[in-house]
Amino acid sequence: MIETYLRQSSNTAKPFFDELVTPDGLVRDHWKKLAHAYVELGLEKMEQRSKEIGQELRENGVTYNVYSDPEGINRPWKLDPVPMVFSQQEWENIERGLVQRAELLNLILTDIYGERKLIKEGLIPLELVFTHKGFLRQADKVKIPGKFQLIQYSADLVRGPMGKMWVLHDRTDAPSGAGYTLENRAAMTRVFPDLIRENQVRKISSYYQTLKNTLNKLALQNKENPRIVLLSPGTANETYFEHAYLASSLGFTLALGQDLTVSDGYVWLKTLRGLEKVDVIVRRVDDIFCDPLEFLGDSHLGVVGLMEAVRQKKVTIINPLGCRILENPGLMAFLPRLCKHLLNEELILPSVATWWCGQEKEKQYVLDNLPLLITRSIYRSNENAPYIGNELDSKQLEALRKEINTRPYLYVAQEVVSFSTTPSLIDDKLEACNAIFRSYLVADIEKQQYHVMPGGLSRSFPAKGEFIISNQSGGISKDTWVLGPQPLDSQAKSSPNQPILRQVKNVLPSRTGESLFWLGRYLERAVSNVRMMRIVLKIYNERDDEIHPETNQSLVILLKSLSALTGTLPGFAEPDEKKLRQPEEELRSLAVDADRPGTLAQSLQSFLTNGYAVRDRLSLDTWRILDSISEELELMKQNGNDLRKIYHNLDQFIIKLMAFVGLNNDNMTRASSWRLLNIGRFLESAINTCTILQAALGKNVKPDVEKQLMELVLMCHESLVTYRYLYRSTLQLPGVLNLLLVNEDNPKSVGFLIAEIDEHLTHLPNNYTEGGLSPAHKKLLEALTMIRLCDINKLVASGAINDPGKKALNHFLHHLIDLLNQASTIIFESYFSPAQSQYSFVKSNSTLQEL
């Protein structure tokens, strides 16, 4: 494996610096121990370890969404088993360069939104700043107290042909990847613990601890116990996994824009208990989307009035709004001079050669060499893709020249750098792939210096010669190893003034509570669907060749009950008997059609979607179960034409769904999150039980048919064995109804479920201020009283066989379902339905402007 890589690298004339192999075809010193380990492992074991890494990441739910890709939602994260490796000596130089660059950019940011001496003295052209969309005039003179304005910083580094490290991009607005870096290291540690130990790979945990300490110290109001939220664009964002993972790992509250509101100059988190004051916001939302009142009026990702709260020093935002100006690639051309001016030092880590077209001489050079350069807008966005000169035809080049001449200050050109190559395991062999490395720095307020993560997120691309490497375009991540002993000053030291440990109040955002409520609803909906479909398919498989509605009365009633339960009407309930005689197509649709509301596939997909929305509240083992359910769902879709295979999928679903229930009952604290999940479950279960009883047992049928239906209904509710132990007699309808409706010792009975819902509600914040029972409690009490006072024998009194009969039972169940639906609506509106959208003012303001 390594020998083949060495031969290929030494025999191939290429303009790339190779991380593993010297130009003489020898293994570099810091790679020798690792290369020897790979030889010992062999290709077959390396492939096996690679599969173990992939399995670890899948089970942990590590995903990355690719925009405009039908397979992009929750795509598994890819990690190369071969890391990017830096020697101790080389890393020390990189570290110094990164700290210097962060300090330089911090001074530039402070000046741009402060005195602007650098512009006045001609060190930075004013057009370079004021024409960049990242310069936010609303943030002028707004300053975080203290030395640091740039709290988090990332730099994308590449190694050129001569082995020199260059900075390709500065990331300052909302740099991503630190969460994936942590998960990458965790996966590599589990699969290659011996290699990490033997090579003395530096730990990266100090970065996250420093980040947490810094954020705690940045609170302007509540300094002892600040509330920190991580502001995410939402589940559709490509790095949402990272947002949830970091929030969970660092103990922050994950929030979307709709979870926050501004009142009295403060930022508040909407929770079940009301509004909770927010002290620090770690934003993963681009700055211009953060406040629709002051920036983009149509943004639904931010919070109305957020910028004003920052101005009034009522909240701290990290990184501060407006720091995207530092991502302007045009600044790179001026950094060497600025470094000499501000720090009196030479720039340790140079940028890729950059020419800003706002200067006549530089513009002319770019126009003369356009086919040899990469030209890009000074403002990075999805709409502004870079122009790779050697990929443009003559017409495209001419159009670009015209655009540059029209607005030269909006464009920069950069040299095409041949990235270094590093070994990657591709298609069962080691390939030399171009690589890029992203570093991470955070301001350490206590030590008044920047702390560099000893590692980072590397990415490689299978196609050589690529200048743009990203996960969106198919890049593969690599763990980054810095070799050498841990520095003494980075060792954790116990503080003599250890703060008193205080338990933090568990605050649940309303949106998260809503997702948990629906997670429970869809969980129980899927469970009911699975159990009912298993019963139907069991009886269907025992049928004659064709179903005769007149003779297969039990199966017909079950089919109609399935349509009633799933809400996929008319379904089997329509007058046309063709579906009843040949139900295969409808049964397949009820199983696998994810676009049809009420089907099993749609219920499972909605269950997984809501689970994904609250992933920061769920344990790692829970995520492994969710991943297993997702895989089983894909298998069922593949088996869409085979009811026998679907029946096997149903068996697997019930095991995995019950494992989800059991695990969360076992490890979730009895806080609001657990109670909302169970309220959703029990409401759905109670409604479904009443629906099945009404559809399956609500008509007068022959005694033998009714007996079979009662047995199947009990089986559907996992209560057949319980019935036999309780009554020790043949099945009778009063006994079945007593067990599934009235008996509060049976956890499957409607009475038990309603009592549990009422109990959970008493432990939730009481938003009802008028005294007495809340409307939800009243509805639940009415339903429970109906059950406790009902006379089962009167409910089941029937007339002739041909008479619809059982009117009392049907009326009772119908009224019970109606009460439960009303209670559900009241609960939803009490905790999750906002009185007024925070965007209403912005929309009305926009309307006035249009008029």
CA angle 8, 470, 25 (to 5 degrees): 20
Provide the pLDDT for residue 840. Answer: 38
Contacts of 699 (CB under 8 A, 6+ apart): 557, 804, 805, 806
Provide the pLDDT for residue 501. Answer: 46
Phi, psi of 375 (to 5 degrees): -110, 135
Asked whether residue 476 is assigned to any structural domain, the reply reads yes
Choice among 404-418, 496-510, 625-639 with the minimum mean pLDDT: 496-510
- Residue pair 673/685 in contact (Cβ under 8 Å)? The answer is no
H or E, element range at 76: strand 75-76
Provide the pLDDT for residue 466. Answer: 55
User: How would you classify the pairing of strands 274-277 and 253-255?
Assistant: unpaired
H or E, element range at 460: strand 457-461
- How far is it, in rounded angstroms, from Cα 482 to Cα 206? 14
- How far is it, in rounded angstroms, from Cα 535 to Cα 708? 12
The number of C-alpha atoms within 13 Å of 808 and in the hemisphere containing its C-beta is 11
**Residue 431: pLDDT band with limits 50, 70, 90:** confident
- Check residues 433 and 102 and name the one with the higher pLDDT: 102
Q: Answer yes or no: is pLDDT of 580 > 50.
A: yes
Cα 590 to the center of its chain, rounded Å: 29
First-residue to last-residue Cα distance in the chain: 70
For residue 243, what are the domain limits? 63-352+417-484
642-655: average pLDDT: 93
Asked whether residue 443 is assigned to any structural domain, the reply reads yes
Asked whether residue 843 is assigned to any structural domain, the reply reads no
Q: Answer yes or no: is pLDDT of 798 > 90.
A: no
- How far is it, in rounded angstroms, from Cα 696 to Cα 703? 14
Q: What is the pLDDT of residues 605-640, one digit of tens each?
A: 999 999 989 988 888 888 889 989 999 999 999 988
Choice among 119-123, 246-250, 443-447, 497-501 with the minimum mean pLDDT: 497-501
H or E, element range at 470: none
Q: What is the pLDDT of residues 690-745, one digit of tens each?
A: 999 999 999 888 899 999 999 999 999 999 999 999 988 789 999 999 999 999 99
**Residue 845: pLDDT band with limits 50, 70, 90:** very low
Q: What is the mean pLDDT of the chain?
A: 88
**Residue 844: pLDDT band with limits 50, 70, 90:** very low
Beta-strand ranges (E) seen in 26-71 are 63-64
- Check residues 815 and 850 and name the one with the higher pLDDT: 815
Question: Which residues are paired to 432 by β-bridges?
Answer: 423
Q: How many domains does the chain have?
A: 1
Asked whether residue 695 is assigned to any structural domain, the reply reads no
- How far is it, in rounded angstroms, from Cα 378 to Cα 404? 12
- Check residues 462 and 197 and name the one with the higher pLDDT: 197
Cα dist from 494 to 101, 216, 499, 504, whole Å: 31, 18, 11, 22
Provide the pLDDT for residue 696. Answer: 95
Provide the pLDDT for residue 490. Answer: 54
Query: Within 10 A of 488 (CB to CB), how many other CB atoms are there?
Result: 6
Kindly state the percentage of the chain with pLDDT values over 90: 66
Provide the pLDDT for residue 552. Answer: 82
**pTM of the full structure:** 0.86
DSSP letter (8 states) at residue 509: B
Kindly state the percentage of the chain with pLDDT values over 70: 89
- How far is it, in rounded angstroms, from Cα 530 to Cα 604? 10
Provide the pLDDT for residue 465. Answer: 52
**Residue 850: pLDDT band with limits 50, 70, 90:** very low
Contacts of 132 (CB under 8 A, 6+ apart): 325, 328, 330, 378, 379
**Residue 5: pLDDT band with limits 50, 70, 90:** confident
Provide the pLDDT for residue 209. Answer: 95
Provide the pLDDT for residue 838. Answer: 43
Asked whether residue 746 is assigned to any structural domain, the reply reads no
DSSP letter (8 states) at residue 738: I
Provide the pLDDT for residue 849. Answer: 31
Provide the pLDDT for residue 86. Answer: 96
Asked whether residue 251 is assigned to any structural domain, the reply reads yes
Choice among 83-97, 180-194, 271-285, 416-430 with the minimum mean pLDDT: 416-430
Q: What is the pLDDT of residues 153-208, one digit of tens each?
A: 999 999 988 889 999 999 999 899 999 999 999 999 999 999 999 999 999 999 99
Residue indicated by tokens 């406040």: 291
Asked whether residue 839 is assigned to any structural domain, the reply reads no
- Indicate the burial class of 596 (C-beta count within 10 angstroms; 0-12, 13-18, 19 or more): middle
- How far is it, in rounded angstroms, from Cα 336 to Cα 135? 22
Q: What is the pLDDT of residues 778-795, one digit of tens each?
A: 999 999 999 999 999 888
**Residue 504: pLDDT band with limits 50, 70, 90:** low
229-235: average pLDDT: 93
Sheet of 387-388, strand order = 354-356, 411-415, 373-377, 387-388
Q: What is the pLDDT of residues 7-56, one digit of tens each?
A: 666 655 556 788 999 888 889 999 999 999 998 988 889 999 999 999 88
Asked whether residue 147 is assigned to any structural domain, the reply reads yes
Provide the pLDDT for residue 9. Answer: 66
Handedness of CA 801, 802, 808, 809 (dihedral sign): positive
User: How would you classify the pairing of strands 63-64 and 260-263?
Assistant: unpaired
